[in-house]
Amino acid sequence: MKFPRNTRIFRGQLDAAPFAGVLFLLLIFLLLNSALVFTPGVPIQLPEGMNLPGTTTRTLVVAVDENGQFYFENQIVTQERLAEKLRAAISEARQPLTLVIQADKKVIHDKLMTLWLLARSAGIKEIIHAIRPPVIPAVGPSKSQG
């Protein structure tokens, strides 16, 4: 039994509209995932480190940029205003709070100590410095070698 064939080889011109649509969609996806998109926040280069402990308590985050400017909740604050906000957060919290300091690696030690003393005077007992993992992991001794 022979079945009739309805398909024929296309020998005309291709329509460019579907290809252009797919191309523009790919372009949009690439632009949204690229570094051209502005990410909100404070531009900080954290120092690298490994295996530092974290915390299980609720945290407050204060950022310090390379110029020594303090940021709380992504807003520039003065030392006096930061002290007020930290005291208010401590009084509202039902459990102990941990301060996470996101300091740029170029910040001078004096600014960090000022922030540390400010947090202690506000009543924060635990302070952690934020780091980022290294780009290339450190090479250590292998456990299989004996």
Q: How far is CA 50 from the centre of its chain?
A: 17
Amino acid at 62: V
Which tokens belong to 3? 């079945």
Q: In the predicted model, is pLDDT for residue 143 greater than 60? A: no
Q: What is the pLDDT of residues 70-79, one digit of tens each?
A: 999 888 999 9
Q: What is the pLDDT of residues 90-100, one digit of tens each?
A: 899 888 889 99
Partner residues linked to 127 by β-bridges? 99
The CATH number that domain 58-129 falls under is 3.30.420.270
Instruction: Report yes or no: 70 and 77 within 8 Å, Cβ to Cβ.
Output: yes
Which tokens belong to 115? 């922030």
Partner residues linked to 103 by β-bridges? 64
Q: In the predicted model, is pLDDT for residue 84 greater than 80? A: yes
Q: What is the pLDDT of residues 26-39, one digit of tens each?
A: 998 887 776 655 55
Write the CA distances from 73 to 59, 66, 101, integer angstroms: 12, 18, 12
Q: Name the pTM for this structure.
A: 0.63
Q: In the predicted model, is pLDDT for residue 4 greater than 50? A: yes
